[in-house]
Chain A
Amino acid sequence: DGGITQSPKYLFRKEGQNVTLSCEQNLNHDAMYWYRQDPGQGLRLIYYSQIVNDFQKGDIAEGYSVSREKKESFPLTVTSAQKNPTAFYLCASSTVGNYGYTFGSGTRLTVV
């Protein structure tokens, strides 16, 4: 079955650590996105990528980094510069001409 896989489902980070969230899709979608969701709030765009080796900052990119070395993969690194990283992170993808996103099941990141 085609879809988006995010891992891990739960992640704990110590202060000052960098952590990487995985996002893989087998939908052959060109575009991929990372969103952050805080309790009781909507989704906020962190980064997006339209093609391999290209990505753009979203509304809240500070403290995050991404790479797009393969069409199927769009990992997100939460760096120590992100002061409030505890949140639910969602990865999504879309194809040319289709406005709708397909979302992964999310990764819940907690700072301990």
Chain B
Amino acid sequence: GESVGLHLPTLSVQEGDNSIINCAYSNSASDYFIWYKQESGKGPQFIIDIRSNMDKRQGQRVTVLLNKTVKHLSLQIAATQPGDSAVYFCAENKGGTSGSARQLTFGSGTQLTVLP
């Protein structure tokens, strides 16, 4: 079946360094990807998204890169701060859905820990 997976389950970085979180996807029909941040005991929060007709998109301190050739997605966080410590999920739009509902397929997540 189709799946979204992450290369690393945990990532530790020093405060102030840049973080890179990776994600592999297998559904070539997916046309939309999202990164979510989930703090302990809370619901996921939207970080940034990208459509399949783009290779790169930048937000505030975050950049998402999409490589469709190898079906790879990455999230870069600049100048990582303690508040960035959380689990990060990538999600892809499940192709073939219609109507108002958009089914997303989520990866298992990467735990980012920012060290002082």
Contact = CB atoms under 8 A, between A and B. Distances in A.
Interface string A34-64: 0100001111110011110000101000000
B9 A40 contact: yes
Contacts of A40: 9, 108-109
Contacts of A31: 99-102
B116 interface: no
B100 A95 contact: yes
Interface residues of B, number: 24
Given A40-B9, A99-B93, A103-B43, A50 B104 contact: no
B42 interface: yes
B66 interface: no
B108 A90 contact: no
A95 B49 CA distance: 16
A42 B107 contact: yes
Contact of A33 (B36, B101, B107, B108): B101
Contact of B89 (A43, A51, A56, A94): A43
